[in-house]
Structure 1
Amino acid sequence: MMISDYLPHSSAITLIDEILEFIPCESIKVRSVINEQNPFLEDGKFMTQKAIEMMAQSLGIYDSKMRELRGEKAIFGFLLGSRKFEIFRPYFKVGDEIVIISKCSIQDESGFGVYDSELFVNGELGARAVLNVMSPDEEFVKKALSE
């Protein structure tokens, strides 16, 4: 499957290139290379505060992989917020390799989850954060999108 199969939003803003590792109920490791077509580039720089979107996309892929194991299809999830967002590099540049490792801290039956994410730039820690997400069931998403 392609990354776009795991992220049910526009491929124009898909920031992840490949899945490196997926451990069900535990973690995901993804990779991306910053390229000139990246929609978040500003004067050739990808400002690190926008890396939250890359971390969120890693969790979207994680959720879709978990749903796939249950025979369900990928649906929209929601980034509720982040805590402890630490930035160790002000920006990334075209050609930089980004690896994100996101680990499940809490995931409850309602779809609420807390994940610890670390982002590495060319092998060095570039940012980390704790992300709160909601991955509701398909019926909830249908209702939310129709309102």
Structure 2
Amino acid sequence: MAAIFDIEDVIPHRGTMLLVDRVIDWSDDAVTVELRVPAESPFHVEDGVPAWVGVEYMAQAVACWAGCQARLQDLPPPIGFLLGTRRYECSVPVFASGSLLRVEARRELMGDNGLGVFACRILAGDDRGREIATANVSVFEPPDALAYMESES
């Protein structure tokens, strides 16, 4: 079994923009993270967090996967970019405050150029593990993210 790292050791997000709580499991090709939908968040609406935030939950799961891979090489978590999603489908309009969610991301493709595609899904964290959302998430992890951002400005 792979070592389970603390969340802040594998993802560069901090403060209110750190939306996932912990890594449950990860491998060369996949990661599973967990979160409890907070009642206090920058995205909170009347009953919880809008379903569209699920895309960011998925992107942060992918970031955790990349961070776990980096930690194996004693490197800090890399900075990556969410390029987009395809076929995001969600069966709920809002993730209810206090609900437990499990987010899974499985690598479908990761090129030497830093472009990747992950098949993702969000499951209810209860005993039933009902699938709530699915999507394909496209990401980009440049070799030197800071230099890349400076060159694009």
Scaled by the length of structure 2, the TM-score of the pair is 0.87
Match of 2:107 in 1: 104
Match of 1:129 in 2: 135
Percent identity, please: 22
Checking the alignment, whether the CA contact within 8 Å between 2:91 and 2:133 is kept in structure 1 is: yes
Q: Which moved more, 1:63-72 or 1:128-137?
A: 63-72
Q: Which moved more, 1:65-74 or 1:110-119?
A: 65-74
What are the superposed Cα offsets for residues 83-105 of structure 1, whole Å, 9 maximum, x if unpaired? Answer: 01111111111111100111000
Distance in 2 between residues matched to 1:44 and 1:3, nearest whole Å: 26
Checking the alignment, whether the CA contact within 8 Å between 1:4 and 1:11 is kept in structure 2 is: no
* 1:115 and 2:118 aligned: yes
Moved over 4 A (4+): none
SS at structure 1 position matched to 2:107: strand
Match of 2:146 in 1: 142
**Which runs of 5 or more residues in structure 2 are unaligned?**
none
Match of 2:26 in 1: 22
Scaled by the length of structure 1, the TM-score of the pair is 0.91
Please state how far the C-alpha of 1:129 moved relative to its aligned partner.
0.2
Please state how far the C-alpha of 1:10 moved relative to its aligned partner.
2.8
SS at structure 1 position matched to 2:56: helix
> Which amino acid in the other structure matches residue 113 of structure 1?
G
